Structure 1
Amino acid sequence: MAKVDLVFRQIDERTRDVALELAIENIQPDSVHIIDNVRPFTECVAQMLRIDHDCDYVVYVDADCLILENIRPFIDGCDAPYVDAYVSDRFRGRLHCGVHITRIDLVRAMAAVEVPADDLKYVLRPESRLRNLAMKPMGSAKQFRNFDILHDHFQSYHHIFMKYALRQLRSRTKEQRQRLTRSMKKWTTTDGIFCDLTVARHAVDFARRKVPETATTDEVHEFIAALPQHAEAELAKLGLDGAEEPFTQQDLDDWLQANCDRIAYGQKADKPKVFGLGLSRTGTRSLTAGLQMLGFDCSHYPIDEDTYIEIANAQYDLTLLRYFDGLTDITTIPIYQQLDKQYPGSKFILTLRDKESWLGSVSRHYYNRPAFKDVGDPDEEVHLRMRQFLRAAVYGCYNFCPERFSWVYAQHVREVMAYFKDRPGDLLVINICSGEGFEKLAPFLDRPAPAEVFPHKGAVLSRRLAEEAAAQKAKVA
C-alpha cells in the first residue's frame, strides 16, 4: 500500500467539518495536515509546500469538497505523478477541481520552483501555475479520474461571493469567459430571490465592475486580498448578514436521500463500457476528454504490457477494463466484435473525419514514428511492440501509404455500420473534427450535457485555419 498524507485546506467553508470527516474516511491517510484560514491562496500554497512529508502521495483536499466514495484503492494502485479529480460542482456541473492526488516527487519539485515575478497566472492560480512549471521538465502530463464528490454545495453566501468574484477574474480569457457564460445561463433562481446562485451572479458582476481588464498584477492581488471585506459589504447591501446554520452530516444525508436518483459519477457498476471505434486522428483524444467530462474514465491507446500481452494472445477480458470504463483509439478496432460479446450492453462510438483532411493528419502523425527501431528502455520496447501489432492489424502495413490508408478508412466505416445495422442504439457516429460534441454524445450515454464546452483538441482549429488559408489563397489568385 502507498503511504498517503492528507493536506486539508479550509477557509471557513460551511462544509469544513463534514468534509474533513469524509476525507479521512475515504482517503484513509497516514498523516493529516490542516491549513486553516490562510489567505490569500498564494500564501496557502506557500505554506502547504513547506510541509515536510514522509509519504508516497499527498492528497490535497479543499473544504468545499464532500468525498462520497472510497478513493484509497485508486491511490494505492496509482503511479501517475498527478491526478485531478472530476467532481459534481453546484454552479458549473462536471469539472475537475478541489481534490488533487500528487506524487511526492512532484510535490518536492513544486516546492523547488522559483515563484515567478509579476506573474498574473501565479496570482490567480498559484498551485496550478507551480505544478505546471514543475511538471514541464519532468515530461509528464496530468491525468484525470471521476469520483463521486460534491463540490461547492451547501456553502455560505459569504464563501460563494468570494469564490465567484475570483472566478470572474479567472475567466478573462476567451475560453474561460465562454465557460463561465455557459454555466451562468443555467443559474435559475427557483429557490428564492437570495439563493446561492443569485449571490454568485452578484459577485461576478461586482468583480467585473471593480477590476478592469487593464488592472495590473498588483491591483488584482490587492482585490483578492480584500475579498472578505468586499463580501461582507456587498452581502449587507443585499440584506444578508451571513448568519447561517452549521452544516451537519444529517443535512448531507437528507440531501442524498432527496436526490437518490442523481448520477453518482464515481460508481462503476451501473455504467456500460464505452469503446471508441474511430481511427487515429479522427478526434479520438477529444472523444476521450469528452467521455471523461461525462463521467466515463476511458484509456486512450493504452501501451502497458498487460494489455499488449492479452490482446496479442486473444484474451479479451482485459485487466485494464477492471479499472477503466472503456477504450478509445485503434486498440479497439481489431477486436471490437469480441469486446461486444465480452462486455454485453456496451456502447460504441465511431468518430469520422473528412478523408482528405484525415490522410494529411495521419501523414504528419506518422512522421518520425517508425515501427521498428533500437530501444533500450523495456517500457519503450512494449510501446513499440504494441505499435507494430496495431499497425499490422488495423492497416495491414507498418508505414503510411495514402492509397492503403484511404481504402482501410472506407472499409472500416462500412464494416462498423454493417455490424451495428440492426442495433442503432448501441452505435453513435460523430464527426468531432467538424464541431459535433456533447449535443450528440451526452444523450447517447444518457448523461446531461455539461455547461463546459466540448474539449476539441485542435482538429476544429486546424480545419478553420486550413479554410482561412484556402480562402486567402483563392482571393490572391
Structure 2
Amino acid sequence: MKQADVRPKVFCIGLNKTGTTSWAYAMAELGYIVGSETKATMFFDDWVRKDFSRIIDYCRTQGQAFQDIPFNLPGTYREMDHAFPESKFVLTVRDTADAWFHSLINFHGKYWSLSGHIPPTTEDLARAVYWRRGFLADYCREVFKTPISDPYNRELLLDFYNDYNKEVVNYFTDRPGDFLVLNVSQAGAYYRLCGFLGLPSGKGEFPWLNRT
C-alpha cells in the first residue's frame, strides 16, 4: 500500500464560502486524493434523513480529503468522527460572519439569480438547477432553517454561521491534534495546515478560488 493510502481521512467542515475550494486545491497539491464534491452533494437527502451509511461508505473508498456538502452540514462531523476515529477536521472560517453572508449571497446571486436580484428570490431558487431543480430551496429550508418567503434572511444566516462554528469548536475542545480552525486568507495559514497534517510546506499561501 502506498503511503498516501494509509493517511487519516481529513474533513474540511467549514461552511461553503469560507475558502473550502482553496483548501481542496491545496490538499490535492499536498498529495491527497480529494473526493468529488459533485458526487458527495448527492448525499444531501441522506443527510436530511439522518442516514449516514452511504456517506461513510463513500468516504471509505472515494478519497482521503473531503469538503462541502454533506461534510459541512450540521452533525455530519460527529458521524465522520465516530466512523473514522483517526481522522482530522479543519473548520475553515471567514474574518467575520458578515463577510461570509455577503460572499454567500453574491455567489448564489451570480449563478442562480435568474432575475439578477441579489440575493436570489424564492422564485429563483425554485427554478435554479444545481444537481437537481429545487435543491437550493431545499438547502435553505433544511440547513439554514430560513422561511420559504425569505431564504436569505440576514439575521438568521448570521446566527446560523456563528452557532455552527461555536458548536464545532465546542465538540473538538481539547483535541488540538485532530482539529484546526483555519482562515485561508490569513498570512501563514498554509504553513499552519501543513504543520497540522505533519507535512513540510513548500509554498507560502493558499490560492484564492471562487472568490465573491
Q: What range is the shorter-chain TM-score in?
A: 0.7 to 0.9
Q: One-letter code of the match for 1:326?
A: A
Asked if residue 410 in structure 1 is aligned to residue 159 in structure 2, the reply is no
For residues 113-168 of structure 1, what are the alpha-carbon distances to aligned partners after superposition, in whole Å with 9 as ceiling and x for unaligned?
Answer: xxxxxxxxxxxxxxxxxxxxxxxxxxxxxxxxxxx7xxxxxxxxxxxxxxxxxxxx
Q: Tell me the number of residue pairs that the alignment of Structure 1 and Structure 2 aligns.
A: 191
Higher relative contact order (CA 8 A, sep 6+): 2
Aligned to 1:273: 9
Say which of 167, 171, 190 aligns to 1:438. 190
User: Aligned letter for 2:102?
Assistant: G
* Aligned 8 A contact 2:11 2:87 in 1: yes
TM-score by length of 1: 0.36
* 1:94-243 aligned within 5 A: none
Cα separation, partners in 2 of 1:439 and 1:317, compared to 1, 3 Å: same
Matched AA of 2:140: R
Shift of 1:310: 4.0
Match of 2:89, as an amino acid?
A: F
Return the match for 1:316 from 38, 49, 53: 53
Output the CA distance in 2 between the equivalents of 1:316 and 1:390. Answer: 20
Q: Is the CA contact (8 Å cut-off) linking 1:330 and 1:394 kept in structure 2?
A: no
TM superposition shift of 1:343: 1.4
The superposition leaves residues 431-464 of structure 1 with CA deviations (integer Å, 9 ceiling, x where unpaired) of 11234432100011111112475323265xx7xx
Structure 2 vs 1, CA of residues 340 and 396 (structure 1 numbering), >3 Å: closer, same or farther?
A: same
Rounded to whole Å, the distance in 2 between the matches of 1:374 and 1:361 is: 19
- Counterpart of 1:302 in structure 2 is 38
Which structure 2 residue ranges, 5 or more long, are not aligned? 113-123
Q: Which amino acid aligns with 1:288?
A: A
Q: Distance in 2 between matches of 1:293 and 1:360?
A: 29
Counterpart secondary structure, 1:339: helix
2:152 to 382, 395, 400: 400
> For each residue in 1:365-408, what CA deviation from the matched residue of structure 2 results, as whole angstroms up to 9, or x when unmatched?
12152432276xxxx5x444654444333311362221111101
Which one-letter code corresponds to 1:320 in the other structure? Answer: Y
Output one character per residue of 1:74-94: Cα deviation in whole Å (capped at 9) or x when no partner: xxxxxxxxxxxxxxxxxxxxx
Taking structure 2 as the reference length, the TM-score comes to 0.76
Unaligned residue ranges in structure 1 (runs of 5+): 1-68, 70-147, 149-263, 463-477
- Aligned mates of 1:423, 1:374 — CA distance in 2: 40
Match of 1:327, SS?
A: strand
SS, match of residue 295 in structure 1:
coil
Match of 2:86 in 1: 345
Which residue of 1 is the match for residue 126 of structure 2?
A: 372
The structure richer in strand per residue is 1
